Amino acid sequence: MKLYSLGLSPFAARVRISIYAKGLDVEIVPPPEGGMKSPEYLGLNPMGRVPVLITDEGHPIPESETIVEYLEDRFPSPSLRPASPEDKARARLIARVDEIYVGQPMITLFGQFDPAKRDAAVVDQALLKLDEGLSYVERFMGPGPYALGDKLTTADCQLTPNLFFVGVLGQTFGRGDLLEPHDRLAAYGRMMREEPVLGRVLGEMAEGLKAFRRG
């Protein structure tokens, strides 16, 4: 298998967590020469985005959630799905709530990075929404140390990369540690940096951020 991926992309990072946690043999590469809008790449993913997984049979699968679910179906052991239907629903809920209620204000804030073009009211409103989204996620989390309990699940695949960006946004907008008011998420934030698979992916994202800032 091959994964088209970029170090900093939270969507690609979500898939890399699954790949590393399952110990899968996947060649991880950047988009091909010509980029994500080249006819060659658009043939694999008409949306022109990373990640895309190329299966052993040569089928391209875009969209991070779909790829993570495919990997669970195709390589069920070790499973990143919790055992009970209730916990499976909870893992999906954490991922979904995080993607919508944390991810959307995050996208607004990415549009406000340039201080010269920044609208303080938009930033304040988006940071409030982000904080609200973090509260929702926290409500559905289990006792830990992972998102649900003592095993890494598909919920962690979604949560960890987004929390990396929550950290970046706190620094960028001078608001400090945005996880601090959320005890459970703050503990999760400390855990993810120490955890081997999550820490590895966070390191790759940090390298990607450095490269992005260098231009």
C-alpha 75: how far from chain center: 20
Residue 41 engages ligand GSH in binding (rule: CB under 6 A): no
Residue 63 engages ligand GSH in binding (rule: CB under 6 A): yes
Which stretch in 57-65, 73-81, 151-159, 182-190 sits in contact with ligand GSH by CB under 6 A? 57-65
| Touching ligand GSH, residues 19-38 (CB under 6 A) | 36
Q: Which of 19, 26, 50, 95 binds ligand GSH (CB under 6 A)?
A: 50
Which stretch in 7-15, 130-138, 146-154, 187-195 sits in contact with ligand GSH by CB under 6 A? 7-15
Cα gap 18→153, rounded to integer Å: 8
Residue 4 engages ligand GSH in binding (rule: CB under 6 A): no
- How many residues in the chain? 215
Residue 164 engages ligand GSH in binding (rule: CB under 6 A): no
H/E stretch holding 135: helix 120-140
Task: Give the contacts of 131 (CB within 8 A, at least 6 positions apart).
Answer: 178, 181
* Phi, psi values for residue 82, rounded to 5°: -65, 165
Residue 60 engages ligand GSH in binding (rule: CB under 6 A): no
Minimum CB separation of residue 67 from ligand GSH in Å reads 8
Asked whether 157 and 18 are in contact (CB, 8 A), the reply is: yes
* Phi, psi values for residue 80, rounded to 5°: -100, 10
In the complex with ligand GSH, the residue whose CB is nearer, 48 or 145, is 48
Give the interface with ligand GSH as residue ranges (CB under 6 A).
9-11, 36, 48-51, 63-65
